[in-house]
A = this chain, B = another copy of it.
Amino acid sequence: MIGYRLKQAQAALRSRMDETLKQLELTTSQYSCLETIGRRPGASNAEIARSVFVSRQAMNTLLRGLQQRGLVTRAERAEAGRALPIRLTGEGRRLLGEAAARIARIEKAMSDALGPERRTSLMSGLTRCVDALEDLPDPE
């Protein structure tokens, strides 16, 4: 039953995010991507992919779209290894700001509905679940 509730909450959240981001011509994945770059300027494609929980390949195509729209830039040549550092453009930063404000409203709605204690409790509960899932032995 935890699994179902998790899925339900995630689906509801994503639905709301897509809804409000649509007005900025952004999808939830694109927003998550921009948000990650904002937090970690110079991150690599693979790094962002892991943070957004999609494959490198999916993030690659997603990034091309953002690049064509002039929201992000990608280094021409790798500074070290093969990773091509990615950064926000001015326009990317501006759009991220608008999007983040909208998303903040959604986060706030959840926070308000929970209250501080329950919110903390929810966060730690989810963390415990993640840890438990990661420690789960591989099915032989």
Whether the pair B3, A103 counts as a contact (CB closer than 8 A) is: yes
Query: How many of these chains are in the complex?
Result: 2
CA–CA, A128 and B109, complex, Å = 10
User: Chain A, interface size: which category?
Assistant: 35 or more
CB distance from A67 to the nearest CB of B (A): 24
Within 8 A of B (CB), among A106-140: 106-107, 109-114, 118-119, 121-123, 125-136, 138-139
Q: How far is the CA of A119 from the CA of B5 in the complex (A)?
A: 12
CB of A79, distance to nearest CB on chain B (Å): 28
Question: Which of these binds chain B: A10-18, A58-66, A80-88, A89-97?
Answer: A10-18
User: Which B residues touch A136, using CB under 8 A?
Assistant: 16, 106, 109
Contact between chains at B106 and A5 (CB < 8 Å): no
A78 at the interface (CB under 8 A from B): no
User: Contacting A139 at CB < 8 Å: which of B3, B23, B129?
Assistant: B23
Residues A118 and B121 in contact, CB atoms below 8 Å apart: yes
In the A-B complex, the 5 residue pairs with the closest CB atoms: A113-B132, A122-B125, A11-B53, A12-B133, A5-B126
